Amino acid sequence: MSDVRRVTDPRRAIPRTDLVLADPRLAPAVAALGRSLVKTAVAEAQQRVREGLVAPTGVVDDVLAALPPGASSLRPVLNATGVVVHTNLGRAPLSRAAVAAVTDAAGCTDVEFDLATGARAKRGRGALAALAAAVPDAGDVHVVNNNAAALLLCALALAPGREIVVSRGELVEIGDGFRIPDLMASTGARLREVGTTNRTHLRDYADAIGPDTGFVLRVHPSNFRITGFTSAPDPAELAGLGVPLVVDIGSGLLAPHPLLPDEPDAASALRAGAALVTASGDKLLGGPQAGLLLGDADLVNRLRRHPAARALRVDKLTLAALEATLLGPPAPVAVALDADADALRARAGELAATLARAGVDARATTSAAAVGGGGAPGVELPSAAVSLPERYAQRLRAGRPPVVARVERGRCLLDLRAVDPADDDVLREAVLGCG
């Protein structure tokens, strides 16, 4: 009986790994993803055959169904949450110009080479020139790998073993438990806290300044607001205290924006007398993750020459994307911010009507979008959405491409504020594919 089982057991017919890998149907996957990744998928499919979950003749089909669309585990998604700069979805999506620039820079490039002379050249000179042109109020500019790194470099270069004067109301904690005071203290600088949580006056700063003061720090409050009985001096007042003023504007807004009147921007801070401004490149600027340093030429050069600057520098791909963001067409974040509410409502109405004709419980509705990424907390952007039954939220996340929506009052809302109009057809097909 045991001999009969060994002969008839279908699991004995599991194809060998080398034969599966040689199947021409897997050749494109091997070329795109690499032999090692495909081989792992083959081994997993063979195990499913042993468990009786897959027929021996279905191994190749099972492998093809299980393989990821790319060699990276990161998957592109459609952001239908209504949050323009969504931290969990990678913050700012790059413009097509920036994506093309990254692709061009992926191979050998002249990042530190002068093709005319054959000599070494200044690293990232194109991106730095573009940033300087975008913020002409800055005497000089520098780029590091994120805004936290920009603040870190300020503390390392300007306040080693000295004091940083900062308001208690600005000692914030942002994403993933990251705290500004912990970052500053890690450099060996001492924080001199002034004022109270809700009110800090100019005299509080003035009384704290002394021989040990490295600089005064003004911090963007990020994802929260204090309202009501509040007070804080203007940057122009702080700039007159006789020590450098470092202003962390956070979200990367380079100039004032009419929809965000209370959001700090680099140009205004510099005109008010800030010695240095730090900002993120991947939020309202709409570029890659980067920390922007703008301000007094001598101070920027001092930061650039600090030994830690080497550890905090950005790679060629970031430089390429940043330059293309600054010089190219409006980035997706800028397009989303400036989207016309009437146009959004028209898109939602058309999409909902198309889905309803296909038998989907879909209807257009008004919505309130948000800036996100710590920018402009509390500001609501008028938007429009397609409302679906709540069960669609999970099904859409499991699709290809995944669509991330938000659930509100028992309905799944596809907010169109951050969805490229060119992706409306993709969004429609994703909903129809949920069944």
Q: Which tens digits make up the pLDDT trace of 108-148?
A: 999 999 999 999 999 999 999 999 999 999 999 999 999 99
* Tokens representing residue 308 in the block: 């830690």
Domain identity same for 57 and 167? no
> What percent of the chain is predicted at pLDDT more than 90?
76
Boundary of a domain, candidates 301, 329, 357: 329
* Tokens representing residue 133 in the block: 């042109």
Domain identity same for 241 and 193? yes
Domain identity same for 112 and 82? no
Q: Which residues of 88-103 are buried (b: 16+ CB within 10 A; e: fewer)?
A: ebebbbbbebbeebbe
Separation CA 430–CA 185 (nearest Å): 48
* pLDDT for the residue 302: 96
Is 135 within the bounds of a domain? yes
Domain identity same for 173 and 213? yes
Is 73 within the bounds of a domain? no
> What percent of the chain is predicted at pLDDT more than 70?
94
Boundary of a domain, candidates 329, 359, 376: 329
Domain identity same for 159 and 256? yes
Give the CA radius of gyration of the chain: 27
Question: Which alpha helices (H) appear in 223-286, and where do they start and end?
Answer: 235-238, 266-271
Separation CA 55–CA 383 (nearest Å): 49
Element (H, E) at 126: helix 125-134
Q: Which of 421, 392, 420 is nearest to 404 (CA)?
A: 392
Return the DSSP state at 150: H
Domain of 40, in residue numbers = 2-66
Q: What is the CATH number of the domain that holds 366?
A: 3.90.1150.180
Domain identity same for 352 and 260? no
Per-residue pLDDT band for 10 (boundaries 50, 70, 90) equals: low
Is 72 within the bounds of a domain? no
Average pLDDT over residues 364-382: 90
User: What is the count of structural domains for the chain?
Assistant: 3
Domain identity same for 44 and 82? no
* pLDDT for the residue 244: 97
Ranking 190-204, 280-294, 379-393 by mean pLDDT, the lowest is: 190-204
Is 235 within the bounds of a domain? yes
Residue 72: pLDDT over 90: no
Is 215 within the bounds of a domain? yes
Q: pLDDT tens across 211-254, in order?
A: 999 999 998 876 666 777 778 889 999 999 999 999 999 889 99
* pLDDT for the residue 151: 94
Residue 407: pLDDT over 80: yes
Domain identity same for 55 and 114? no
* pLDDT for the residue 175: 63
* Tokens representing residue 201 in the block: 């006056």
Is 397 within the bounds of a domain? yes
The torsion region of residue 288 among left (phi > 0), alpha (psi -120 to 50) and beta comes to beta
Residue 380: pLDDT over 50: yes
Domain identity same for 146 and 284? yes
Q: Which of 101, 99, 29 is nearest to 62 (CA)?
A: 29
Q: pLDDT tens across 307-328, in order?
A: 999 999 999 999 999 999 999 9
Per-residue pLDDT band for 8 (boundaries 50, 70, 90) equals: low
Per-residue pLDDT band for 7 (boundaries 50, 70, 90) equals: very low
* Tokens representing residue 296 in the block: 């007094």
Return the DSSP state at 91: B
Q: If you average pLDDT over every residue of the chain, what do you get? A: 91
Residue 64: pLDDT over 70: yes
Q: Which of 300, 309, 245, 22 is nearest to 135 (CA)?
A: 300
Peptide bond into 401 cis (omega under 30): yes
Is 115 within the bounds of a domain? yes
Domain identity same for 115 and 238? yes
* pLDDT for the residue 209: 96
Residue 3: pLDDT over 60: no
Per-residue pLDDT band for 5 (boundaries 50, 70, 90) equals: very low
Domain identity same for 304 and 344? no
What distance lies between CA 262 and its chain's CA centroid?
Answer: 22
Residue 194: pLDDT over 50: yes
Is 217 within the bounds of a domain? yes
Average pLDDT over residues 46-58: 89
Separation CA 360–CA 395 (nearest Å): 14
* pLDDT for the residue 176: 64
* pLDDT for the residue 223: 63
Query: Which has more confidence, 12 or 304?
Result: 304
Domain identity same for 138 and 188? yes
Average pLDDT over residues 410-429: 97
